[in-house]
Amino acid sequence: MKAAGNWIKTLKLVEKYFDAFLYVTNWETHQLLLRIPRKLIDLALASKYCIGDSWTIYKKGDYLIFDFTSETEDYDLANL
């Protein structure tokens, strides 16, 4: 997993400049951040679908930032 300092910097960059951010590693970490204007999505309704640790919603100013993260530890590459 990325260091906490780098994660905060990434979140701030998405908050200010980007609508989407994709992070993929060769050790099976995948992360997608999407910045959506708050007026387009009802936060209470979206939160009902935010189950488990695989995604989170952040409120940042006039935007909601959706964080979809998948981390697996299946290193069995023989079945590719």
Where would I find the beta strands (DSSP E) of the chain?
Answer: 20-24, 29-37, 55-60, 63-71
- Mean pLDDT computed over 36-43: 92
Confidence of residue 33 (pLDDT cuts 50, 70, 90): very high
What tokens were used for 70? 């998948």
Task: Pick the closest to residue 53 from 41, 71, 36 (CA basis).
Answer: 71
In this model, does residue 49 exceed pLDDT 60? Answer: yes
Task: Pick the closest to residue 54 from 27, 76, 72 (CA basis).
Answer: 72
In this model, does residue 35 exceed pLDDT 90? Answer: yes
Q: What is the pLDDT of residue 75?
A: 57
- Mean pLDDT computed over 60-68: 91
**What is the pLDDT of the chain when averaged over all its residues?**
81
